[in-house]
Structure 1
Amino acid sequence: MSIILYAMPPPTDWHPMKIRTFLLATILLNPASYVCASPDIAATQKSAEQGDIAAQFKLGVMYAEGQGVPQNDQQAATWFRKAAAQGDVTAQGNLGLMYFQGRGVPRDYSQAAAWFRKAAAQGNADAQAKLGHMYKMGKGVSQDDRQAADWFRKAAEQGNADAQYFLGAIYDSGRGVPQDDRQAAAWYRKAAEQGDSTAQSTLGIMYGSGRGVPQDGQQAIAWFRKAAEQGDDIAQLILGSRYAVGNGVPQDYQQAATWFRKAAEQGNANAQSNIGQLYLNGNGVPQDDRQAAAWLRKAAEQGYAIAQVKLGMMYNIGRGVPQDDRQAVAWFRKAAEQGDPEAQYFIGREYVAGRGVPQDYQQAASWFRKAAEKGNADAQFNLGVMYGLGHGVPPDFSLAYSWLSVAAALGNEDASKSREDVAKELSPSQLAAAQQLAAKYFEQYQPRN
């Protein structure tokens, strides 16, 4: 069981941190029209009721933030609406945000988009970025990657870091614009230089792989570190992985544990699994099976298949947890149903032995087949044996020979001897056909990354 390195997500994925930033954005203050030092509430109310735009906006902020008056989102929305109707750009953006969040008004994405559009048309970069999000997500407007790219570009060119990151992501994915790694890296850099941690992390990934920029391990580490020090859990995970294997930095398990822990404490399942692995091996932390099991459980409960397999193995042998075959099978099954070939092999093995489940050769063969077709050599060996014995499948020496041959080629040491035994049961023509099928299987059923 080893450290799992972070793999770059598909460029079409939206980083969850960015989604949170957008969804939980706060009321936007307008410094030119809002000064809240000891406000004269009566005077502000009177001016607002007389149609003074600045007073209306100010009163909206006061109610939104509970400054000088009881916090009241409905009143905030009312006063933002009055200022927005008179063309106040920040009030328009705030009213759009309140409709998006359902704060003080019923949630209404169409109304949110409409108010964002009004503010965006006046050149408000934050509203332009939010309208780009709406088009990207298809909320309140028809989903349209080109429109998303256009609005992100308008905001990005004004220096909006959020829009710069997402414009980079659009060039990364080629949705709405021609795919262009250099443009992606250029926009990520603009956002990164403003301190956007997600852009910093992504730029580090690009330097690490040489996509859009010259490959440069030191630059990659530098950007990962900037993001990690701001609390970006993905960067913390990557930096921990680099220290664990000595990639771009001297190998240092204590540093790996430090960064994995930071990401794990934010709920990053990959990091939780990795810190569990360090406790299991005693690398960078005192060896502690119970701590290992605790961290693996956190990751497993989030649906992280690798941790589910490891936790199943710990229950299987009673390491860090009480020995419990049923719990082992339960965790293997969760991972197996996600398509994890190691888990599929293990659950097949439990059906053969009748541990934690009733003995069932047909179920065993079914799970071995799933894992075998994903290139798991142990499963291929077991499936070959089952065909040779006729356990759970009709006896078939040709299929037995083929699966044993693939398992042997992939490094299963027991498969070669078993294949020789099976070959004795085949005629020359049957053997030739089985060898052809084995070659086909070997090509088709390689391990998948």
Structure 2
Amino acid sequence: MLATGFVAPAPALDAPRATAKANAQPLPIFKDPRAALRAGLESYHAGDAATSVAALRYAAEGGEPLAQWKLGRMYAEGDGVARDDAKAYEYFARIVDHYADDEPDPRERSMAASAFVAVGLYLRDGVPSAKIKPDLDHAFDLFRYAATYFGNADAQYNLARMYLEGAGVRKSMRQAVNWLDLAARKGHPQAQAVLGRLMFTGEASGEPERARGLMYLTLARDAAGGAARDQWIVDLHADALNAASEADRRAAVGMLEGYLRERN
């Protein structure tokens, strides 16, 4: 997997490493990058964004992956700083570059996986304002690595979508359903919604599985809450519920109760 995705990394992933070395100059206010990381996180949680950014930048330039990840999230979401996708991509890409060669500490696996997914999303869609060009092949490799090596549900879901759409890879319903199933079992609501629709309509296996599909759609609808970005999940559930028979609904309730008992 590593050989596939990182033998010849894209230039955009090499640039941050050089930048980090060039800018990793000690600042007198911090003892070392780890101390700066602690100070930055403390300031962030105290609501002092300006101080936290300065400390996290020093820690990031000193090679602290958690600082790089935190800054990536802040710039991606405009959290305490002006949103800047180019900077977010740079920080996430440093983590990808680092963990292409080094095994992450068990406590860092989730953070590392989310960085792989973040870079994958940037490369899948491209961001013209940040001069990030779409690179579906590289995005696919990043999703596949995070999905298999880290078992990350977001990566599994995005990998499934690429198989469904034939984006950067040949279309494969079988592969899509396999990855959706893995993510859905981890409680990923978007994966549950897509898998539920495919089961309900019969696209997943050639035969409609209306009760099981409705079960997954119900789980997804309940997890979605009222977020506007998840309205599509609510709509898919409503469409399936309207089309389901009373027998389908009763069977779905039974499956849902069994599913929840098993998870608990």
The TM-score range, normalised by the shorter chain, is 0.5 to 0.7
Q: Which runs of 5+ in 1 are unaligned?
A: 1-155, 364-449
> Does the 8 Å contact 1:172/1:181 carry over to 2?
yes
In structure 2, the partner of 1:159 is 32
Q: Distance in 2 between matches of 1:171 and 1:307?
A: 36
What is the aligned counterpart of 1:189 among 57, 67, 70? 57
Partner of 1:334: 219
Instruction: Tell me the CA shift for residue 230 of structure 1.
Output: 2.5
Say whether 1:223 aligns with 2:114: no
Q: Secondary structure at the match of 1:256?
A: helix
Counterpart selection for 1:304 from 188, 193, 196: 188
Is residue 2:119 matched to residue 1:239?
yes
The 5 Å alignment of 1:286-305 reads 286-305=170-189
State the partner residue of 2:239.
Answer: 349
Q: Separation in 2 of the partners of 1:236 and 1:326?
A: 35
What is residue 256 of structure 1 aligned with on the other side? 139
The question of whether the paired residues in 1 share the 8 Å contact of 2:159 and 2:179 is answered with yes
TM-score, normalised to structure 2's length? 0.66
Percent identity, please: 28
Mapped partners of 2:236, 2:82: distance in 1: 43
2:190 touches 2:220 (CA, 8 Å); kept in 1? yes
CA distance in 2, matches of 1:354, 1:221: 44
Aligned pair in 2 of structure 1 residues 157, 334: CA closer, same or farther (>3 Å)?
same
AA of the residue aligned to 1:327? R
3-state SS in 1 of match to 2:121:
helix
When Rg is computed on C-alpha atoms for both structures, the one with the higher figure is: 1
- Kindly report the root-mean-square deviation, in angstroms, between the aligned alpha carbons of the 2 structures: 2.7
Task: After TM superposition, give the deviation of residue 215 of structure 1 in Å.
Answer: 5.6
- Alignment partner of 1:165: what SS? helix
Q: Which gives a bigger RCO, structure 1 or 2 (Cα 8 Å, sep 6+)?
A: 2
Do residues 272 (structure 1) and 140 (structure 2) align? no
Aligned residue pairs, count: 201
Q: Is the 8 A contact 1:326 1:355 kept in 2?
A: no
- 1:275/1:292 contact within 8 Å kept: yes
Q: Which letter does structure 1 place at the counterpart of 2:91?
A: W
AA paired with 2:42?
Answer: I
Q: Residue by residue, what CA displacement relative to the aligned partner does 1:5-43 show, whole Å, maximum 9, x if unpaired?
A: xxxxxxxxxxxxxxxxxxxxxxxxxxxxxxxxxxxxxxx
Given residue 61 of structure 2, which amino acid in structure 1 is its aligned partner? Answer: E
In 2, the alpha carbon distance for the partners of 1:277 and 1:256 equals 12
CA–CA distance in 2 between the matches of 1:356 and 1:256?
A: 43
State the 1:245 CA deviation: 1.3
Q: In structure 2, what is the equivalent of residue 67 of structure 1?
A: none
Q: Distance in 1 between matches of 2:233 and 2:60?
A: 39
